[in-house]
Chains A and B, each alone.
Chain A
Amino acid sequence: MKQLIRLAVVIVAVSAILLVTISRLNASQGYSGGNTLTVYNWGDYIDPEVIDDFEKETGITVVYETFDSNEAMMTKIQQGGTSYDVAVPSEYTIEKMKEEDLLLPIDHSKIPNLKNIDPRFMDLTFDPGNEYSVPYFWGTVGIVYNTKQIEGIDFNSWEDLWDPALKNKIVLIDGAREIMGMGLNSLHYSLNDTDPEHLQEAYDKLVSLKPNVRALLGDENKLLMASGEVSIGITWSGDASEIMAENEDLDYVVPEEGSNLWFDNMVIPKTAKNIDAAHEFINFMLDPKIAAQNTEYVSYSTPNKEALQYMPEEMVNDERFYPPTELTDRLEVYENLGKENLAKYNELFLKFKME
């Protein structure tokens, strides 16, 4: 008994010491000050130095939290209990959040740097007039392939994936919208098509791709592609640029039939407590130099036109990640299809997975 009590006391003492250490560390980071801003972003999706600069310049301390999926983030915000001031969801989630009344409108007069954003990334269908969101990063969906292992095919068309020579070589991302979209695009239909016949056609087309498909994976496909284990992958441009930095043999193509154009955007959730600081932060992130620095760190494509001049040329001139307007005009942003149509997409995708 005495021994147990002694042990309990030791544990309490150790915990107390640790708690003091934590609060000291927090204080050294400036987390304990009154003027704080809570940012909710994807993991490792910002250059830590940018946060430091923001803190130094404004005196606002930033509490940075991370999430791994739009759905998880939305649940947290919906339930309340936290006070995130800035969050970074993808476009289709912004539509949902708008419907659920989870966002605060953005005061454009407080964000003069908004003028730096390329006009083609403003005023998109998911948020007309950018009333609630400001673009953060953008990209496409396309094909990554290993130029050493695949010869004679340049994947300018989705059709190339159906080449019988590619038996068991393709890894797809495990996303209903992405894969069904690929099927629709390969038939020259819109990504947002809801015609049941077209969807059925896309499904049949996908089923005929099955012999070439090795697996449907989430984040693991990055590792498999980078290590050369898999030679072809369908994935987002952000992921592609990341693995291409690791493996020089890889190349990325957006097929000419069209594909998806995606956005991650900064928004201010309803739960925000420090709305002024949130605007200040968003404005700061749109500063050309800051955006350039952040883009170099994250390596996704920036919608900030002015930032391009501060970035290394080989990055900006890379048409795979900064495609010319002719191509982006052909790309489509996911629209909110409504529950029923989304269920149809999911059902067909599930059937395809089980085939």
Chain B
Amino acid sequence: MDKRISPLSRIFLIIMFALLYLPIFYLIFYSFNSGGNMYDFENFTFDWYKELFQDTRLLIIVLNTIVIALLSALISTIIGVLGAIMIYKIRSSRTKYTLLSLNNILIVSPDVIIGASFLILFTIAGIQLGFYSVLLSHIAFSIPIVVLMVLPKLSEMSPSLLDAARDLGASRWEVITKVVIPYITPGIFAGFFMALTYSLDDFAVTFFVTGNGFTTLSVEIYSLARQGISLSINALSAIIFLVTMLIVVIYYFITRRGKRSPDLEVLK
């Protein structure tokens, strides 16, 4: 593998990774600074981490963010997968493309507009802003992403696979649960994780729909800007980064183990 990468592209790769990771490490480095700012490293300290864990309000906000991300990703994945299968099944190419374009419009429309629209919708409908308004809007903007992640997998699937299943006497339900879903599982995972990250870091939409004591991390950090952001936010970022790293590593090993298992090889 190594031999195929030319030195030039290797240098490019290194620079790209440095560009992506240096700011994060810079941030983490200063989370251990006793000086209280981001340019003058004084002494090594764990004070910011201590402060972080004593700040119950911030912890509640972090947990809110995680719950919203998990639930909205799960629900939008379920709806998105069903939607993708529907679109895939539509025969008329005109309807299909119309639906797909409508789906894409939701992805490219600016977050601010989506957020403002949700705010207007919720106030007209009389829904109190808070947990449910945030959850609903996150589900809504994640669904188009899931659809887009799952559809390519569906169109990759050979139609003869479905015919074969039916010939062997599979019912419609069995075709979906035993053939289609296992085949598109990688797409489902991709959609789920995309939805998860979108929900975790979305600011623009969330800003409009938070309220009544419910807020998420992105909104909270943004509103700290006027007074300067405390280094305990650096500490928090460091922890979140480590946890994400850990999850990615675990995921990597799980998928590697999965690839070696013989039955999946057969399926491929």
Contact = CB atoms under 8 A, between A and B. Distances in A.
A325 interface: no
Contacts of A29: 56-57, 60
Contacts of B222: 43, 68
B244 interface: no
B59 interface: yes
A1 interface: yes
Interface residues of B, number: 48
B123 to A, nearest CB: 5
A64 B57 contact: yes
A43 B57 CA distance: 13
A11 interface: yes
A82 B215 CA distance: 12
A8 B220 contact: no
Nearest to A32: B213
Contacts of A66: 215, 220, 223-224
A218 B225 CA distance: 10
A221 to B, nearest CB: 12
Contacts of A80: 123
Chain A's interface: helix, strand, loop or mixed, by majority? helix
Contacts of A75: 119, 208
A223 B213 contact: no
Chain B's interface: helix, strand, loop or mixed, by majority? helix
B212 A22 contact: no
A109 interface: no
Interface in A23-60: 25-26, 28-29, 31, 36, 38, 42-45, 48
A4 interface: yes
A249 interface: no
Q: Which among A25, A72, A82 has the highest number of chain B CB atoms within 10 Å?
A: A82
Contact of A72 (B71, B185, B207, B220): B207
A26 B230 contact: no
Interface of A: 1, 3-4, 8, 11-12, 14-15, 18-19, 21-22, 25-26, 28-29, 31, 36, 38, 42-45, 48, 63-68, 72, 75-76, 79-83, 218-219, 222-223, 226-227, 242, 246, 298
Closest 9 CB pairs of A and B: A82-B211, A43-B223, A63-B213, A44-B227, A66-B223, A43-B224, A227-B39, A68-B223, A81-B129
22 contacts: A11-B71, A12-B74, A15-B71, A21-B63, A22-B60, A25-B60, A25-B63, A26-B60, A29-B57, A42-B223, A42-B227, A43-B223, A43-B225, A68-B224, A72-B207, A81-B123, A82-B212, A83-B212, A223-B38, A242-B227, A246-B36, A246-B37
